[in-house]
Amino acid sequence: MKDIRSAIPQPLPEGLELSELDPIYREQPHARLDRLRCEAPRYQDPASETGRLFLTRHADVRAALIDRSLTRDTKKTYSRGAEAVPDTLLDKDGEELALGRMLVARAFDTRGVESRRGLITQIIDDALDGLGARFDAMRDFAAPIPIRVMTAIFGLPQDNLAQLRDWAEDAAVLGMHPNRTTEQNIRLMTSAAGLRKLVFDTIAARRAEPRDDLLSTLVLAEANGRRLDDSEVAPLCIFGMIAGSLTTTDLIGNTIVLLLQNPDQRALLEGNPRLVACAVEESLRLEPPVSAVARHVVEDGEVMGCPMRAGGTVKASLLAANHDPDLCEEPHAFRIDRLVVPKHFAFGGGAHGCLGAGLARLEAQLAVERLLARFPGLSLVPTDMPRKKTTYGFRGYARIPLSR
């Protein structure tokens, strides 16, 4: 007899059911996202009091990212980090945004990134040297690399990197969290204060004695006929640490897991190591470390034909857009030999498109390439499989136990 429950339409997912805080969504997001894309691609989430339009189609996500009538200013969001983190590039629009991006862009453009290849390779090889027969690929490998790279580029002290990484991670993860506990609020404030103090202290040291690093370049930079002051330099560095550490760590971890869970794709890569760039691209598409971005409505009106009030949120699901069947065939499959690399949105796009994409790609490519070359017998531990982490808006693993 047919189960009568299958005939009753299930309500559409809403609110936190569309976030990594939900255990089902965390592990299997695509049952929900595919359904929304088919049944309600421009979904007015009933759980949101201020109005939330949740977008799942690739074309709609692209349109939202380039829509200049929407703002990214987080002061207008419900999830604002209690002013713990100073205004960053993400909070700026227009000329201020263009100036901030211009100041740091050169360090992260193709030439700037390529000039760091030797540094990154050395950092990865140091991490590989320290690995035992069993290790946690997140804690022991993926996490230490990006923070070392970022501190070396900006010129921050390297003596307490684990502490710095925790501060940056708290600022990213707790800053995005929609309903923090009091304890989480205190932790966010403490971490942000630690990060701020370190950056302001280092800026003072570089003003007194410039070195060959990005902070020194920024304190000496001129804009509109004058030098930048500390409050203009600091957010560029603070945000670089927040934006470039956890995300790149997740990219490295996600790519390792995808390769180990797909032995045919790993064999392809081992047969042709030049496919490593495609493997990283496919990982970014399938498991974007930042799963969604928000934009905010400035005036009452319509967005994509939907009525929205000022202050409402347009949530563009990068994860859903990257799995849109309009983007590529078999969108849920990990295939590193696609003839055309799909144009995914893992790095966002439009005015706020990621400035660190090239750096993140190079770090992940080198990390995966060198890990597999050093340990050809690398495998998951069947009795201790990777566990996803429970962080709002970020997709990655808490642990990836491996044996080599």
Count helices and strands (H / E) in the chain. Answer: 16, 14
- Is the Cβ of residue 89 or residue 378 nearer to ligand HEM in the bound state? 89
Label each residue of 56-96 as H, E or C.
Answer: CCHHHHHHHHCCCCEECCHHHCCCCCCCCCCCCHHHCCHHH
- Is the Cβ of residue 13 or residue 289 nearer to ligand HEM in the bound state? 289
Give residues 281-340 in contact with ligand HEM (rule: CB under 6 A).
288-290, 293
Tokens of 10: 């299930």
Of the listed pieces 116-124, 132-140, 206-214, 242-250, which binds ligand HEM according to CB under 6 A?
242-250
Query: Measured between alpha carbons, how far is 188 from 159 in angstroms, rounded to an integer?
Result: 22
Tokens of 290: 């930042």
Query: Measured between alpha carbons, how far is 171 from 88 in angstroms, rounded to an integer?
Result: 12
Strand (E) positions, 124-235? 134-136, 222-223, 226-227
Query: Measured between alpha carbons, how far is 298 from 306 in angstroms, rounded to an integer?
Result: 14
| Identified binder of ligand HEM from the candidate list 81, 144, 253, 348, rule CB under 6 A | 348
Query: Measured between alpha carbons, how far is 112 from 122 in angstroms, rounded to an integer?
Result: 17
| Identified binder of ligand HEM from the candidate list 124, 142, 243, 362, rule CB under 6 A | 243
Query: Measured between alpha carbons, how far is 111 from 22 in angstroms, rounded to an integer?
Result: 41
- 120 touching ligand HEM, by CB under 6 A: no
Mapping DSSP to helix (H, G, I), strand (E, B) and coil, where does residue 29 land? helix
Contact at 8 Å (CB) between 393 and 247?
no
Query: Measured between alpha carbons, how far is 395 from 247 in angstroms, rounded to an integer?
Result: 9
Phi first, then psi, for residue 48 (nearest 5°) are -90, 125
Of the listed pieces 4-12, 158-166, 195-203, 244-252, which binds ligand HEM according to CB under 6 A?
244-252
- Is the Cβ of residue 129 or residue 165 nearer to ligand HEM in the bound state? 165
Nearest approach in angstroms of CB 236 to ligand HEM is 8
Which one-letter DSSP state was computed for residue 13? P
- Is the Cβ of residue 175 or residue 348 nearer to ligand HEM in the bound state? 348
Of the listed pieces 89-97, 136-144, 332-340, 396-404, which binds ligand HEM according to CB under 6 A?
89-97
Of the listed pieces 75-83, 157-165, 354-362, 377-385, which binds ligand HEM according to CB under 6 A?
354-362
| Identified binder of ligand HEM from the candidate list 32, 57, 58, 72, rule CB under 6 A | 72
Strand (E) positions, 269-375? 292-297, 301-303, 306-308, 313-317
- 244 touching ligand HEM, by CB under 6 A: yes
Of the listed pieces 166-174, 194-202, 223-231, 349-357, which binds ligand HEM according to CB under 6 A?
349-357
Contact at 8 Å (CB) between 396 and 249?
yes
- 90 touching ligand HEM, by CB under 6 A: yes
SS3 content of the chain, % helix, strand, coil (to 5): 55, 10, 35
Nearest approach in angstroms of CB 395 to ligand HEM is 9
Classify 100 in phi/psi space as left (phi over 0), alpha (psi -120 to 50) or beta.
Answer: alpha
- Is the Cβ of residue 1 or residue 277 nearer to ligand HEM in the bound state? 277
Total binding residues toward ligand HEM, as defined by CB under 6 A? 26
- 101 touching ligand HEM, by CB under 6 A: yes
- Is the Cβ of residue 7 or residue 361 nearer to ligand HEM in the bound state? 361
Residue nearest to ligand HEM (CB): 356
- Is the Cβ of residue 138 or residue 346 nearer to ligand HEM in the bound state? 346
Nearest approach in angstroms of CB 393 to ligand HEM is 10
Q: Which residue matches tokens 């370190």? A: 198
By CB under 6 A, name the binding residues for ligand HEM: 72, 89-90, 97, 101, 108, 239-240, 243-244, 247-248, 251, 288-290, 293, 346-348, 352, 354-356, 359-360
